[in-house]
Amino acid sequence: MKQFILTALFLFSIYTCQAQDSIPAVQHNDSVKVENKQASGNDANELATVAYNEGRFKDAIAILETARKEGLEKGVESSVLYYNLGNAYFRTNDMGNARLNYERAALLDPGDRDIKHNIEYMLTKIEDKILVADTFFLHTWFRAAQNLLSSNGWAILSVVSFLLLIGSLVLFFFSRNVFAKKTAFYIGLFALILVVFGNIFTFKQKDKIEHRQTAVIMSGTAPILSSPDINSKELFTLHPGTKVYVTKEDRSWLEIEIDNGHIGWVQREKLEII
């Protein structure tokens, strides 16, 4: 029995390590910030920080956009850079680009409190005030737990929890002390739960990054129609900074859903994928 359990754990460890290796590389430099943060030694970010602090927000945007494009060419994204861009765009009252960059930052680092705070504050400034449709409380809790860490964070926690589980099993099987066995059992059970949910959250966060199905309205006004046809009935209108969920594609049209559950079609040029 012991050999079977240890063999199963060994195979699971290989699976967990492979899961961690499959996570896309995300460059996260906590020292590179624009607002209420310290600047790093990187020339571009230092220049952007100086421009931002002097009120030259458009200059800061130009510098950071150049850095963003250079990073994308190398296959690297930074939640901090997106956060900085969001701040700079917000200062120029460009709610579309501000929301877009804040949401991209949140996608890479969902647990960051500054990002969450700025998104919540920005929601008070955009034109569309959309109430969120009621959702099952367990789904809300599950999503909130998932967003506590990034995909890399959950992967690291899974590996650490797995090592703790191995240690607990060794202590449980080979210790003769009853108290030690009980302690090892409960710690191992807790570690097992963390391993299972850590892997689930890792792959869900990874899937959100690789298959981006949310977007932000960028156009001044975006009419939402009943079908992918310019002559179809207009259902409602959205404005810059509103986040939508993309559900279907049809040529140059996207079917979108908003937080209150309403669905319609919009021209692709009116929004940008997060």
Q: By the 8 A CB rule, do 225 and 264 touch?
A: yes
Residues 163 and 96 in one domain: no
Q: pLDDT below 70 — which residues of the chain?
A: 1-43, 134-137
Residue 95 within any structural domain of the chain = yes
Q: What tokens were used for 201?
A: 């959250």
Residue 181 is part of which domain span? Answer: 150-210
Of the residues 162, 195, 210, which one is the last residue of a structural domain?
210
Summarize pLDDT for 134-174 with one digit per residue, the tens: 666 677 788 888 888 888 888 899 999 999 999 999 998 88
Domains in the chain, number: 3
Residues 218 and 205 in one domain: no
Q: What is the pLDDT of residue 241?
A: 94
Residue 220 within any structural domain of the chain = yes
Residue 11 within any structural domain of the chain = no
Residues 188 and 224 in one domain: no
Could you tell me what percentage of the chain is helix, strand and coil, using 3-state DSSP and rounding each to the nearest 5?
55, 10, 30
Residues 130 and 32 in one domain: yes
Residue 17 within any structural domain of the chain = no
Q: What is the pLDDT of residue 135?
A: 67
Q: What is the pLDDT of residue 151?
A: 82
Handedness of CA 242, 266, 210, 39 (dihedral sign): negative
Q: Looking at residue 125, which CATH number applies to its domain?
A: 1.25.40.10
Residue 218 within any structural domain of the chain = yes
- Which residues, 6+ apart, have CB-to-CB distance to 5 below 8 Å? 169
